[in-house]
Chains A and B, each alone.
Chain A
Amino acid sequence: MRRDIFQAIADPTRRAIITLIAVQAMTPNTLAEHFDITRQAVSKHLRILQECDVVRAEQQGREIYYHLEIEKMKEIDKWLEQFRKIWETRFSQLDDLLSTLKKQKK
């Protein structure tokens, strides 16, 4: 299944993981310490994040470190662009309404 950034941050735990590894790469164990969930649950979230290309795993000795893919996170900026478009749509509707109201006034 093709996953995307929307799925990556659709879950609060995953958003928290992203915030944590944005500061520094972390192992699943150190990540799990920040949550009230099992290490298995953290691993599951990490797997999804990996499938979304938001994190990348790197083997260092016996440990696997998870890094954040900053470029991927920039897709969120595209979301903001969509939010901007919501406003554009809304305002263009308001423009039309205002022009209708002005005509009625005359």
Chain B
Amino acid sequence: MKTALLFNFSVNRENNTIHVTRAFDADAELVWKAWTTAELLDQWWAPQPYRNQTKSMDFREGGVWHYSMISPENETHWCRFDYEKIVPHESYSGLDAFCDEAGNINTGFSRMHWENVFSQSAEHTTVTITITMDTLETLEKIIAMGFKEGFTMGLNQLDELLSNLKK
């Protein structure tokens, strides 16, 4: 059904980085908007069957996106993304952390540093993501925390939802 778009995922255990590259079938302006606008992020950021809910969004250097990912059982994981550097339509970076409803950072997890670079070609917009962690333990914890259950059950549900949205 879907055309194959470039998707690379690699983990460098030596310097604790994850590299993700993905092409999207849209221009950079639209892809940028989807990554930086709360109402749009809420529609895709949390992997199904989780849903994403933004509490506040202040997309500027030094600003914060405070959001939660909510499981079907209403288990809520609060997160915050602190924006560092923003070059409109080109790149942004910042720190992602788990926190509580008030935005206090959970120090039990190390923060993840993100750098997202957007580049447009004739056909696609490619997003290159570099995530740097103090330790890969963080990644393991995130997966252990419950996202591992998320996939198999969610996909049918997702297809349904999206087809409803398109109507």
Contact = CB atoms under 8 A, between A and B. Distances in A.
Q: Indicate whether A and B interact.
A: yes
Interface of A: 6, 9-10, 12, 15, 76, 79-80, 82-103, 105
A79 B9 contact: no
Interface in B25-74: 25-26, 30-31, 33-34, 40, 43-48
A90 B140 contact: no
Please report whether the interface of chain A is mostly helix, strand, loop or mixed according to DSSP.
helix
Given A93-B47, A100-B166, A9 B25 contact: no
Interface of B: 2, 5, 7, 9, 11, 18, 20, 22, 24-26, 30-31, 33-34, 40, 43-48, 137, 139-140, 142-144, 147-148, 150-151, 154-155, 158, 162, 165-166
Contacts of A94: 24, 34, 44
Nearest to B46: A90
A79 B162 contact: no
Given A76-B140, A98-B26, A98-B34, A93 B20 contact: no
Given A96-B44, A98-B31, A101-B30, 15 more contacts: A9-B137, A12-B137, A76-B140, A79-B139, A89-B151, A93-B44, A93-B47, A95-B2, A95-B5, A95-B25, A98-B24, A100-B166, A101-B34, A102-B26, A103-B166
Contact of B24 (A80, A83, A95): A95
Given A94-B24, A100-B165, A88 B148 contact: no
A84 B22 CA distance: 12
B155 A89 contact: yes
Contact of A97 (B2, B44, B151, B155): B44
A96 B155 CA distance: 13
> Which 8 residue pairs spanning A and B have beta carbons closest together?
A93-B44, A89-B47, A98-B26, A94-B44, A84-B9, A96-B162, A86-B47, A79-B143
A46 B109 CA distance: 24
A84 B11 CA distance: 10
Contacts of A84: 9
Contacts of B26: 98-99, 101-102
Contacts of B43: 93, 97
Nearest to A90: B47
Contacts of B47: 86-87, 89-90, 93
